[in-house]
Amino acid sequence: MRVNVLQHAPNEGPGSIQDWCHEHNHEMFVYHPTDFGILPTIDETDLLVILGSPNSPNDKLDWIKNERVLIKQMLKANKPILGICFGSQQIAKTLGYEVLDAPAKEVGWAPVYLQDHTIENIPEKLTALHWHQHMSEIPDDAKLLFSSDLVKNQGYLLGNNVIGLQFHFEPKEDNVREIAINDGAYALENNDLHQTPQEIIAHGVPKENKDVMFVLLDYITK
The answer to whether the predicted template modeling score (pTM) of the entire model surpasses 0.85 is yes
pLDDT score at 43: 98
Q: What is the mean pLDDT of residues 33-45?
A: 97
Q: What is the mean pLDDT of residues 198-217?
A: 98
DSSP structural state of residue 95? T
Residue ranges and CATH numbers for the domains of the chain are 2-220 (3.40.50.880)
DSSP H helical segments within the chain, as ranges?
A: 16-23, 33-36, 62-76, 86-94, 173-187, 197-203, 207-220
Q: What is the mean pLDDT of residues 16-21?
A: 98
Q: What is the mean pLDDT of residues 182-200?
A: 97
* C-alpha pair distances (Å), 221 with each of 95, 108, 144, 160, 216: 21, 29, 20, 9, 9
Q: What is the mean pLDDT of residues 113-126?
A: 98
Tens digits of per-residue pLDDT, 45-61? 999 999 999 999 999 99
Q: What is the average pLDDT score of the chain?
A: 98
Phi, psi (5° rounding) for residue 90? -65, -40
Q: Is the CA virtual torsion 151, 160, 75, 19 positive or negative? A: positive
Residue 114 burial by CB count (10 A; 0-12/13-18/19+): exposed, middle or buried? middle
**Beta-bridge mates of residue 139:** none
pLDDT score at 80: 98
pLDDT score at 187: 97
| Element housing 104 (H / E) | strand 99-114
pLDDT score at 208: 98
Tens digits of per-residue pLDDT, 49-101? 999 999 999 999 999 999 999 999 999 999 999 999 999 999 999 999 999 99
Q: What is the mean pLDDT of residues 146-163?
A: 98
Q: What is the mean pLDDT of residues 170-181?
A: 98
Q: What is the mean pLDDT of residues 35-41?
A: 97
| % of the chain residues with pLDDT over 90 | 100
pLDDT score at 132: 98
* C-alpha pair distances (Å), 169 with each of 51, 61, 117, 130: 11, 27, 18, 9
- The CA R_g of the chain, rounded to the nearest whole Å, is 16
Q: Is the CA virtual torsion 204, 208, 211, 215 positive or negative? A: negative
CB environment 203-214: b (16+ within 10 A), e (fewer): eebbeebbbbbb
140 contact partners, CB below 8 Å, separation of at least 6: none
| % of the chain residues with pLDDT over 70 | 100
Please count the CA atoms within 13 angstroms of the CA of 206 that sit on its side-chain side.
Answer: 17
pLDDT score at 162: 98
